[in-house]
Amino acid sequence: MHYLPLPRTVVPAVAIATVVLVVWLGWGSIRDPEGFWAPGDLSRYHAAVTHCMSCHEPFRGPVSAKCIQCHSEAYFAAGSTPSTATFHRDVIGQQQKCLGCHTEHRGPLANITSRKTHHDKSPLFSADSSS
Amino acid sequence: MDQAGLQIVSVAMPGEARGLRSIEMTPVIRRLVTIVICITAAIVGAWLFESVLSIGKPSPFAHSTTGHFMGWVGLGLILLVFVYPMKKRVDRNRRWPRNWFRVHMVAGVMGPLVILLHSGAHLHALVPLLALAAMAVVVVSGIVGQGVHYLVLRNLNDTRRQLHDEGFAADDVEVRLHRMAAQEEAFRLWQSIHAPMTLMFLVLAAIHVMGALYFGGF
C-alpha cells in the first residue's frame, strides 16, 4: 500500500511545538518543581519543605543523610520517647535507609510510616505500644 | 452503490420492534468504534491491574522498584518499534520489511501497555503526564492508521479498479468515488500525527527518564 507523502509543514510544526514545550517545562521546573516532577504531593508532615534538594541528592535520590539533617539526634531527644530515639539511632547506625519505612509523595493525608518492615520488630509498633 | 466502503450495515436492536431507531454503521465506523472500545478497555484494564498489584502495599505498584523496572521494559519494547521505520528508510531498495512491521505493531501496543502498568492511574507530575499523552497520541494514530485508514484506502482502490473494469470514464469514476475519497482524506490525518508526534514523545520520554534518574537515583 502506497501512502502519499506528508505535508512539508507538519514536521517543522511539531518540532517547534516540542521546543516550546521543552522551554515551558524548564520554566515550570524552576517555578513549581513539585507540580512538574513529583509523583504526588508531600504529606502534611513535610508540607513546609519547598526545595527538592532538601531531601533529594542528584542522581542518588532521597538519602538518609538529608533526612537526619532535620530529624537529628536532638530532634528525637526533644520530641520522642527514649525507645523511639534509640530505635532510630540503631537503624541509622546499621546504615539502613529511612526510605525503607518512610515513603513520601503519597498525598497530604498519607501515613508516611510503613509498619510492615523492620518496625515490626521495633518497640514503637509492638502490641503494647499500640494499646 | 453496494461497495464495501459505503455499505450500510444495520445492527438490529431489540428495541427496533418497539419503534426505537436502529443503529446504522458503515464498516468503517464499526471498525472505528471497535478500536475506541478496545483502546479504552486496554487502558482501564492496565490501570485496574496496577491497582490490584498495589493492594496491601505501602506505595502503589507504579512507584515501587518493580514499577520503575516496568518503565525500562516498556521503553525497551518501544525502542524496538523504531527498527521498522529505520529499515524502511535506510534500505529503500530492499523489499518492504514485513516482519519488522509486525514487530512494530506488536511492540507498539505491548510497550505502551507496560508503560501503563509503570504509570498506573497516578497522574500527578506534568512531565510524565505529557510524555504519556504524547505516547497515547502516537499509538492511537498508528492504530487508527492501520485499522481504519488502511481499510478505507483499500476499499477506495478496489472500488476504483472495479469501476474502471466496468467501463466507466475516469472523470465519472472520481465523481462516483467522491464520498469515499473525502473519507480517505480525512483518515489520512493519522499520517500527519503518527510519525511527527513521535519526535515530541521521544523528547518528553527522554526528559522524563533524565528527571527520574536525577530525582530518584539509579
- From first to last of the 131 residues of chain A, give the pLDDT tens digit: 566 777 889 999 999 999 999 999 999 999 999 999 999 999 999 999 989 999 999 999 999 999 999 999 889 888 888 888 899 989 888 988 898 889 899 899 888 876 544 444 444 544 433 32
Statement to judge: residues A31 and A92 lie in one domain: no
Residues from chain A that touch B192, judged by Cβ atoms under 8 A, are: 6-7, 10
Measured between CB atoms, does A57 come within 8 Å of chain B? yes
Check CB contact under 8 Å for A6 and B195: yes
Q: How far is CA A31 from CA A26, A52, A71, B136, in A?
A: 9, 12, 27, 27
**What pLDDT, on the 0 to 100 scale, is given for residue B15?**
47
Residues from chain A that touch B141, judged by Cβ atoms under 8 A, are: none
Residues from chain A that touch B214, judged by Cβ atoms under 8 A, are: 58-59
In whole angstroms, give the CA distance from residue B73 to residue B163.
Answer: 50
* Residues B164-197 pLDDT 10s: 898 888 888 888 898 889 888 888 889 899 999 9
Check CB contact under 8 Å for A14 and B199: yes
Give the pTM: 0.83
Q: Please list, in sequence order, all residues whose beta carbon lies within 8 angstroms of the beta carbon of residue A111, skipping any fewer than 6 positions away.
A: none
* Residues A34-58 pLDDT 10s: 999 999 999 999 999 989 999 999 9
Residues from chain A that touch B204, judged by Cβ atoms under 8 A, are: 21
Statement to judge: residues A33 and A89 lie in one domain: no
Statement to judge: residues A18 and A82 lie in one domain: no
Task: Pick A59's closest partner by Cβ from B126, B153, B217.
Answer: B217
What's the structural domain count of chain A?
2
Statement to judge: residues A45 and A34 lie in one domain: no
Statement to judge: residues A28 and A49 lie in one domain: no
Q: How far is CA B111 from CA A58, B107, B128, B173, in A?
A: 28, 5, 16, 43
Quote the domain boundaries for residue A79.
Answer: 41-130
Domain membership flag for residue A122:
yes
Statement to judge: residues A46 and A110 lie in one domain: yes
Domain membership flag for residue A2:
no
pLDDT confidence of B59, banded at 50, 70, 90? confident
B118, with CB counted inside 10 A (0-12, 13-18, 19+), is buried
Statement to judge: residues A45 and A33 lie in one domain: no
* Residues B60-108 pLDDT 10s: 899 889 999 999 999 999 999 999 999 988 877 788 888 999 999 999 9
Statement to judge: residues A34 and A46 lie in one domain: no
ipTM associated with this complex:
0.81
Q: Which neighbouring-strand residues pair with A56? A: A62
Statement to judge: residues A32 and A88 lie in one domain: no
Statement to judge: residues A20 and A69 lie in one domain: no
Check CB contact under 8 Å for A28 and B211: no
Enter the C-alpha cell of residue A6. 506528508
Check CB contact under 8 Å for B124 and A28: no
Statement to judge: residues A28 and A45 lie in one domain: no
Q: Does the CA dihedral B127-B132-B136-B139 come out positive or negative?
A: positive
**What pLDDT, on the 0 to 100 scale, is given for residue B133?**
97
Statement to judge: residues A70 and A88 lie in one domain: yes
Enter the C-alpha cell of residue A129. 505500644
